[in-house]
Amino acid sequence: MGKHWLHKFWLAGLIVCLAGPAVAADTVKVGVIGTFSGPFARWGQQFRQAIAVYQKQHGTSVNGIPIEVIFRDDGGPDPARARQLADELILREKVQFLGGFVFTPNALAVADLVTESKTPTVIFNAATAVITRKSPYFVRVSQTIPQVAAPIGKWAAQNKVKTAITAVSDYGPGYDAEEYFSKAFKAGGGQVLESIRIPLATTDFAPFFERIGQKKPDALFIFGPGGPPTVGMINTWASRLKPNGIQLLATAETQEIDLPKIGPAALGVVSSFHYTETVDNPLNKALWADLIQMFGQDTVPDLASAQSYDGMHFIYLTVAKLGARFNPDDAIQFMSHLAIDSPRGPIAIDPKTRDIVQNVYLRKVERRGDKLQNINFETIPMVRDPWKEDHPE
């Protein structure tokens, strides 16, 4: 095509030079939009690592059809950029699948584009409940916040916690967590004394937690975006409220990737989540072993790894079933009815909602040898997203 010489920027020329031999005609291209730079770079890093492990285990082709993964960086919650990237991937690279999406706004921004271009999109993370309603071409393999927040509320109410306070980060996922924890907790007979929303940019949590301590709840439920705010919340709880016997309840906050930074302060935190690193199944063990082998001793699988691993599996299965030139509607039909084994345990998609159905584990942070780990003590099987049930279409 004559367009290439007009791109006079040398970087473009470099791409062309490095492109190498022409790509096979029946390659299936998968565009993964993740966050590879900025404060949330670890999400993209984990996507990339898990996909590398998957392709090492399953090869880079399916029945002779090469699968090419193209990564693009959205830099964080940046819907305009996500949309631009999706544009380029769909229109220029002609990808047949989109994958990725760490943040809800980014997924929402591409919804109409994905619908108009009929591109099956596998959501590797974005967890706000409403997302799969925004396009018939969205299939989510990750989680919804209500799905993982409700079980801990229910557990608390059944386990001697009579009063609780919620302290969530001041953004959409936080509100979802607050709503569904409180709902389940109250349904079990608990009383929520106060709901506090903590600004995302907060660095010092002490005044909030002092206020919580003054009210003397039996437990505190927190929700944070991962990274520094989460670490700050847990550490502050440990130094201000733990000595007074206030139990900490959480969801993703004690993932092993952050535990070394939090340290012994995290001992005793009870959480409900869909992925625990210690889940004992061969897929999880293989994922972890391969991650360590390929990326170093300190690599820990996390929800991002398991979810993107499963996302790739969905794509591979679809291509295996439907071939390289498939009808997008058939692909969505196929994926909406999938039930597979995942490093997390068994997962399935609910055909009505195209959303994930999976085990939710109740676990506690304990010491195992010289490491801190989340240890499962109860499994709630195949939980659907409660939000969809509360808000029928």
156-175 binders of other proteins (CB under 8 A): 170-172, 175
- Confirm or reject binding of residue 232 to other proteins (CB under 8 A): yes
Count of C-beta atoms within a 10 Å radius of residue 227: 14
Task: Specify whether the backbone of 226 is left (phi greater than 0), alpha (psi in -120 to 50) or beta.
Answer: left
Does 207 participate in binding other proteins (rule CB under 8 A)? yes
Count of residues near other proteins by CB under 8 A: 76
Among 59, 260, 268, 381, binds other proteins (CB under 8 A): 260
Provide the β-strand partners of residue 73. Answer: 34
Q: Which of 58, 59, 60, 87 binds other proteins (CB under 8 A)?
A: 87
Helix (H, G, I), strand (E, B) or coil at 37: coil
- Least Å distance between CB 375 and other proteins? 22
Q: Phi, psi (5° rounding) for residue 303? A: -55, -35
Q: Which of 27, 41, 281, 382 binds other proteins (CB under 8 A)?
A: 41
Work out how close the CB of 299 gets to other proteins at its nearest, in angstroms, rounded to a whole number.
Answer: 9
Three-class SS of residue 254?
Answer: coil
**Is residue 11 within the footprint of other proteins (CB under 8 A)?**
yes
Q: In the window 114-133, what residues touch other proteins (CB under 8 A)?
A: 116-117, 128, 130
Structure tokens that stand for 264 in this block: 């012994």
Sign for the pseudo-dihedral over CA of 104, 193, 360, 348: negative
Q: For the chain, how long is the longest CA-to-CA vector?
A: 72
Q: Rule CB under 8 A: say whether 23 interacts with other proteins.
A: no
CB-CB contact of 374 with 254 (8 Å): yes
- Tell me how far, at minimum, the Cβ of 347 lies from other proteins, in Å: 25
Backbone dihedral region for residue 7 (phi beyond 0: left; psi -120 to 50: alpha; all else: beta):
beta
Q: Which of 28, 45, 252, 274 binds other proteins (CB under 8 A)?
A: 45
Among 17, 20, 22, 92, the residue binding other proteins under the rule CB under 8 A is: 92
Interacting residue with other proteins among 28, 30, 31, 48 (CB under 8 A) = 48
